[in-house]
Chain A
């Protein structure tokens, strides 16, 4: 018999207590009733030492109780022969191998493979193993079931073969999710395979534990009890690592400077030993860029922003290379060429665009050229014929006058094709144009009577058009005064949705669907004699919001990261985007390694950006480039502390630095705990203790039963 807590057996020494109490005790058991104690004085208790034990059965019973108590606390169990010890429950183990981009550093991957191999070689036949790799996502290479189906002798070679076929990718490290997946895999296997006797639950993590690892999933995850994480850290040889990051230019829509410089941030690692780096173009051997070299000084743990001048040749993608650090996996930054979106805006009205007292003047100022947009405004008189080509290529139409009948048809067709137009009611007569465009016979409208001025009220901020003004700091329209507006009888437009009203409850801006498009009607105008709208800070955002609502402004971010889900544009060329949003049938995406992917027509995004570089969207309408770079976090390669994981609730197990003897002892103790928990002999000891206690109680009561004493 063995004991889990043999120190408790020292409690057997307490057996001496009742013996001593039997030998030396105070005889106060008898009680005598006496007539009067007036002649008596109390005497000191007398202790008698007896060489002879009284009530021997009682003493034996009490000593037995103490022995049983000590036995129960020492948690006894019957140990099994050594031969049978190998049959003890195996370990459920998940080997989790980091294949993120940071593992591409020199020598790291071979170390990781060797570490994983040594772990697998120690696996016993009773263990259940799952091999997973992870970067941005976790992937199961060999599952528990698959492992169990293999011949025991072929399991480890098959796993090593899988490892040899594995190589690090370019994605970031989402360590938290990978650990959660591994822990859940163990739990799932325990549920699915309950026949397998459970021993240790272990996750062996082979990773460089870079600081850029994302752990936020662990914050909301309760780590399962009994699952240990064993970390096999892979240490890099050099610590200096500088990285490149393209910063977003916030004023894409504002500046039209062709000589704008792209800001690039260079960050040095905190544990770097080098501070001097060189920035150059990858194709510097070409004649036009041969001399472009920049020396950058970045202190350890600091970053520097360098503005790289745009190149004259914008058609091709570019590649910036940083040199001077120990690891070059993150030393390349790919830059897609800037693309300007061509927007055609048709303004139908007879005013002069150069007169600041007229409305076109402000429209022209609003849609100036910028880095991202190349607007083209076509001013067209209301009484002339509009060319079909103009209406077909128009992205946005502003109607500021009463339209002739012949123009109404073309504009109605324009609206029915799904596009958007803004009609500004300069006079009550514009209601006839609204009625003609919406297809009703007549629309009542008259000049509203205003006492002083009117303001906007009841603005539908939940409408996409006005949503940008939803924040309280942007939603104050009370400083825009309207001196004139036209009241419209909305009962004749049942489908119209009022987006904003005047404080007299008359509609100020409403949307009337026409076919698949929509007609926005402004019941006043931004003419200086009508309102202060053109001079307010809301005017430009409102027009751009109308453009965005009409689907004209396509957010085309040319900077993406590996692993991102990249939206596929409706057309590779923004100027030629199709109004119905469909993709060209022959759309292809060419990756940097010249492999070609043909997305389905219904596919909205592209998820195969698994390597950095310049990607090309090819179609018959033209080509478009976008750049995919390494995730910024992945470049933070300084190792994190293992205690960070422990702080998130992860139970850390034995690491490789613990001596093998200690591990063996812990393993043996674990097996003892299992044996003891199976046998639970302490319960029987307690049962025996209770039985002896009952006998002792009965015997003691019988021995001290009332007997005639000297007194009455």
Chain B
């Protein structure tokens, strides 16, 4: 759907709180692409004050030549200076292939404020896509509920980002959340290793989360999980008793929030803890985002984790993957 506001002329200038973009203001921008652009450009402006600079330094390594090495990789300049044969070892020059997996189940349609979790997740995915696209990385998209509903392979072509933005703007019409089949399907489709960003509320049975995410990790992919929840889901701050209806199943339940709040929070925290520990076990970066959290911070947290991940890999012996992030 074409937006009324042109991307270069935002209808609303997002309000900044403590230097961060207010998500409520941002979500008033109709165009998904414009939203992503606002976030990323704002991010670059603010990055100068960021304590995390120097992350883009390329890494190279020399190793003494041994018999059998390819003589094409001998650094002849160093040989001229030191009269010793060294092999110049490079990181993988291939660009990053990023897959954005966005949950379009019915539960993502919930939102206590002016926008839903789905809209927030879409904006987050668009921000990441825009950011990565500006770095020259290939970005693909897959939406799912209990199966893959829409799939766009990672590409880095002119106009492909725009198509991807339009796909993210579609209103979710899925059913219940089930991570198993879609993640298994994605793992089978991706033959090359890359970055997989899963954006979901994870409101499904947590028992199979480890096996579901394990499909992706087994393929050698870097996996990042953005766990998106509404603030009302986190705090359950309803006041009056009401008949609560499950948005996915349609089941009605009489709930007195004051009586059920403690139990709810307890069970939710257990759920979050299990999700976090599962991701840690699998080496997956896990980020819990409330939908009122600024996208700047979300992007910053993401990059921060990526940088720490690079350091961890270096300490572990070097990775062949060279990423711009």
Binding site for B on A (CB under 8 A): 27-28, 30-43, 45-46, 709-712
Contacts and interface: CB of A to CB of B under 8 A. Distances in A.
A37 B233 CA distance: 10
Contact of B256 (A36, A46, A711, A712): A46
Contact of B244 (A32, A45, A712): A32
Contacts of B256: 43, 46
Interface string B104-125: 0001101110001100000000
A35 B230 contact: yes
Nearest to A27: B241
Nearest to B243: A31
B263 interface: yes
A432 to B, nearest CB: 119
Contact of B246 (A37, A43, A710, A712): A37
Contacts of A41: 260, 263
Interface string B39-50: 000000000000
Nearest to B267: A39
Contacts of A36: 107, 203, 246-248
B107 A35 contact: yes
A109 to B, nearest CB: 87
A32 B238 contact: yes
Given A36-B246, A712-B111, A46 B253 contact: no
B255 interface: yes
B239 interface: yes
A33 B256 CA distance: 14
A34 B239 contact: no
Interface in B207-254: 230, 232-233, 237-249, 251, 253-254
Contacts of B117: 35
Contacts of A37: 244, 246, 249, 251, 253
Contacts of B37: none
Q: Is the interface of B mostly helix, strand, loop or mixed?
A: mixed
Contacts of B245: 31-34
Interface in B92-138: 107-108, 110-112, 116-117
Contacts of B255: 32, 40, 42-43
A500 to B, nearest CB: 98
Contacts of B247: 33-36
A45 B247 CA distance: 22
Contacts of A710: 112, 232, 237-240, 242
A39 B110 contact: no
22 contacts: A27-B241, A27-B242, A28-B242, A30-B240, A30-B242, A31-B242, A31-B244, A32-B238, A32-B243, A35-B203, A35-B230, A37-B249, A37-B251, A39-B264, A39-B271, A40-B263, A42-B253, A43-B255, A43-B259, A711-B112, A711-B242, A712-B116
B78 to A, nearest CB: 60
A35 B233 contact: yes
B268 interface: yes
B33 interface: no
Contacts of A35: 107-108, 110, 117, 201, 203, 230, 233, 247-248
A377 B251 CA distance: 118
Contacts of A39: 263-264, 267-268, 271
Given A38-B267, A42-B254, 8 more contacts: A31-B242, A32-B238, A34-B247, A35-B201, A40-B253, A709-B242, A710-B238, A710-B239
A40 B244 contact: yes
B285 to A, nearest CB: 24
A130 to B, nearest CB: 75
Given A35-B117, A35-B233, A712-B110, A40 B260 contact: yes
Q: Which 5 A-B pairs have the closest CB atoms?
A: A35-B110, A30-B242, A39-B267, A35-B107, A43-B256
A31 B253 CA distance: 10
A398 B268 CA distance: 133
Contacts of B243: 28, 30-32
Given A43-B254, A46-B256, A33 B263 contact: no
Contacts of B107: 35-36
Nearest to B113: A712
Contacts of A711: 112, 238, 242
Contacts of A38: 203, 267
B271 A712 contact: no
A45 B259 CA distance: 11
A41 B263 CA distance: 8
Contacts of B232: 710
B179 to A, nearest CB: 14
A35 B255 CA distance: 14
A46 B233 contact: no
- Determine which residue in A39, A42, A46 has the highest number of CB atoms from chain B within 10 A of its CB, and name it: A39
Contact of B254 (A28, A33, A712): A28
A36 to B, nearest CB: 4
Contacts of A27: 240-242
A387 to B, nearest CB: 126
A37 B245 CA distance: 8
A43 B243 CA distance: 10
